[in-house]
């Protein structure tokens, strides 16, 4: 079903663009059961059936758009296996991610190398394993790819607005519109197979119009490509589909209506894909960690967790707000929350309202934390990586 601008405006006015669909989280009883066994370090408990359901919901919302999961969001093999069973393709940033997929027998045809800046030996390795599709966003990278794999199928990452995204990705990547003409003529001159366009609206994007703008830009670029004798046949609408935390989000169905309308006039032979990461895995998991200690500094209450910025919680640094649950019932007071390392950047939240009676040893439960948590964690200061358990 497609939505006209007026119908959409009415929904916006009625505040209906936000997702009121009851979000499904992992059943908390699984967390209780896991904790009854033992606790030695922070862990992520993932329910693979939620990953399946989210994948199906995504496909229903955008029937013409084939999801290619962004492995970086959660590269656990069981998560990847679940997505393989759901018929999803993949997007990779590195050759270690490629190896993970090859070990799970994913066809290289289903793997898109979507990191716009790749080292020469990574491209050589990917080409030797049969990866066909490569992104670029600069003349230099275009030439690099062509010099290694002249028959590579390539897609151009363009700049697109990241307004309203909790984790913006604009700036570092994306060809500016003023540079596209030169890139297209260079691709034509090199006889390169510049076959598509992609963009990323920013992760946890709460503004569905960003996708419309990206698609409109891509369609204009397709016209210029055809004029230059190229054969554009891939539109990759990237990632960014948001999940429920604290702030309201547009539902995947609303995003789907905007995307479906914007792609409706694209010829059938144009393949349309997306690269959802967060959307497919976030809701499936609880992240569990523990209070190492509490104290009062200059009149402020502080608590230290055994997982901080280096232990899986880095996304709070860019404004992502998690729901934080505890077993305490005391009245809420403002807490400053830090991770366990000695680094002064390892501060997670300021004045977060949590029960006044929180103490050393209390557990912290964070729902919808299956994406970009454990995937980011490192051993800094010798703290162990969080465990990942997939049900």
Ligand X SMILES: Cc1ncc(COP(=O)(O)O)c(C=O)c1O
Could you list the active site residues? 342
Q: 1-15 burial, b if ≥16 CB within 10 A, otherwise e?
A: eebeeeebeebeeee
Q: Which is nearer to ligand X, 250 or 340 (CB)?
A: 250
Q: Which is nearer to ligand X, 193 or 275 (CB)?
A: 275
Query: Applying CB under 6 A, which part among 99-107, 208-216, 232-240, 330-338 lies near ligand X?
Result: 232-240
Q: 52-81 burial, b if ≥16 CB within 10 A, otherwise e?
A: bbbbebbbebbebbbbbbbbbbbbbeebbb
Query: Applying CB under 6 A, which part among 14-22, 28-36, 233-241, 297-305 lies near ligand X?
Result: 233-241
Tell me: does residue 245 bind ligand X (CB under 6 A). Answer: no
User: Tokens representing 191?
Assistant: 């006889």
Least distance from ligand X to the Cβ atom of residue 212, Å: 17
Query: Applying CB under 6 A, which part among 54-62, 271-279, 318-326, 356-364 lies near ligand X?
Result: 271-279
Tell me: does residue 241 bind ligand X (CB under 6 A). Answer: yes
CB of 167 closer than 8 Å to CB of 202: yes
Among 276, 312, 339, 340, binds ligand X (CB under 6 A): 276
Query: Cα(26)–Cα(38) distance, rounded to whole angstroms?
Result: 19
Q: Which is nearer to ligand X, 234 or 337 (CB)?
A: 234
DSSP string, 13-62: HTT-SB--SPPP---HHHHHHHHHH--SS-EEEE-HHHHHHHHHHHHHHS
Mark residue 302 as left, alpha or beta (left: phi above 0; alpha: psi -120 to 50; beta: remaining). beta
Tell me: does residue 260 bind ligand X (CB under 6 A). Answer: no
Strands 203-205 and 271-274: unpaired
Length of the chain in residues, anyone? 391
Nearest-CB residue to ligand X? 239
Query: Cα(231)–Cα(141) distance, rounded to whole angstroms?
Result: 20
Could you tell me how far CA 356 lies from the centroid of its own chain? 34
Least distance from ligand X to the Cβ atom of residue 137, Å: 10
Query: Applying CB under 6 A, which part among 101-109, 139-147, 216-224, 239-247 lies near ligand X?
Result: 239-247
CB of 337 closer than 8 Å to CB of 366: no
User: Tokens representing 158?
Assistant: 């363009």
The 120-159 contact track toward ligand X, x by CB under 6 A, reads: ----------------------------------------
Q: Which is nearer to ligand X, 337 or 375 (CB)?
A: 375
Least distance from ligand X to the Cβ atom of residue 350, Å: 25
Tell me: does residue 324 bind ligand X (CB under 6 A). Answer: no
The interface with ligand X within residues 159-218 (CB under 6 A) comprises 169, 200, 203
Q: Which is nearer to ligand X, 210 or 260 (CB)?
A: 210
Least distance from ligand X to the Cβ atom of residue 73, Å: 5
Least distance from ligand X to the Cβ atom of residue 127, Å: 19
Q: Which is nearer to ligand X, 31 or 235 (CB)?
A: 235
Could you tell me how far CA 264 lies from the centroid of its own chain? 25
Query: Cα(69)–Cα(84) distance, rounded to whole angstroms?
Result: 10
Q: Which is nearer to ligand X, 25 or 203 (CB)?
A: 203
Element (H, E) at 387: strand 387-390
CB of 330 closer than 8 Å to CB of 294: no
Among 149, 206, 244, 278, binds ligand X (CB under 6 A): 278
Tell me: does residue 275 bind ligand X (CB under 6 A). Answer: yes
The interface with ligand X within residues 53-92 (CB under 6 A) comprises 70, 73, 91
Binding site for ligand X (CB under 6 A): 70, 73, 91, 114, 169, 200, 203, 238-241, 275-279
């Amino acid at each position: 079903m497609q939505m006209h601008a007026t119908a959409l405006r009415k929904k916006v006015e009625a505040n209906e663009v936000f997702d009121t669909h009851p979000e499904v989280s992992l059943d908390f009883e699984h967390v209780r059961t896991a904790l009854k066994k033992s606790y030695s370090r922070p862990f992520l408990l993932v329910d693979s059936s939620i990953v399946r359901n989210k994948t199906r919901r995504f496909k229903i919302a955008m029937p013409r758009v084939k999801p290619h999961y962004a492995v970086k969001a959660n590269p656990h093999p069981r998560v990847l296996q679940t997505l393989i069973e759901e018929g999803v393709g993949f997007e990779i940033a590195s050759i270690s991610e490629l190896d993970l997929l090859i070990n799970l027998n994913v066809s290289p045809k289903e793997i898109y190398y979507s990191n716009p800046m790749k080292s020469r030996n990574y491209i050589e390795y990917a080409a030797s394993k049969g990866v066909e599709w490569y992104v670029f966003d600069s003349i230099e990278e275009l030439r690099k790819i062509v010099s290694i794999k002249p028959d590579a199928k390539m897609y151009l990452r363009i700049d697109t607005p990241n307004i309203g995204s909790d984790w913006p990705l604009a700036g570092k990547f994306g060809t500016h519109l003023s540079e596209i003409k030169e890139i297209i003529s260079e691709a034509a001159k090199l006889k390169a197979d510049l076959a598509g366009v992609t963009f990323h609206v920013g992760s946890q994007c709460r503004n569905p119009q960003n996708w419309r703008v990206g698609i409109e830009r891509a369609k204009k670029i397709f016209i210029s490509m055809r004029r230059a004798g190229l054969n554009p046949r891939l539109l990759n609408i990237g990632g960014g589909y948001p999940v429920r935390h604290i702030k309201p989000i547009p539902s995947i169905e609303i995003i789907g209506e905007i995307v479906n309308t914007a792609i409706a006039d694209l010829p059938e032979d144009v393949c349309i894909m997306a690269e959802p990461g967060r959307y497919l895995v976030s809701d499936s998991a609880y992240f569990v960690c523990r209070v190492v200690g509490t104290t009062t500094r200059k009149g402020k209450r502080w608590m230290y967790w055994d997982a901080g910025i280096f232990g899986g919680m880095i996304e709070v640094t860019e404004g992502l707000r998690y729901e934080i649950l505890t077993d305490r019932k005391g009245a809420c007071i403002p807490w400053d929350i830090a991770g366990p390392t000695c680094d002064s950047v390892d501060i997670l939240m300021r004045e977060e309202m949590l029960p006044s009676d929180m103490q050393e040893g209390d557990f912290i439960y964070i729902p919808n934390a299956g994406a970009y948590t454990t995937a980011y964690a490192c051993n800094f200061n010798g703290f162990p990586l969080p465990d990942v358990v997939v049900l």
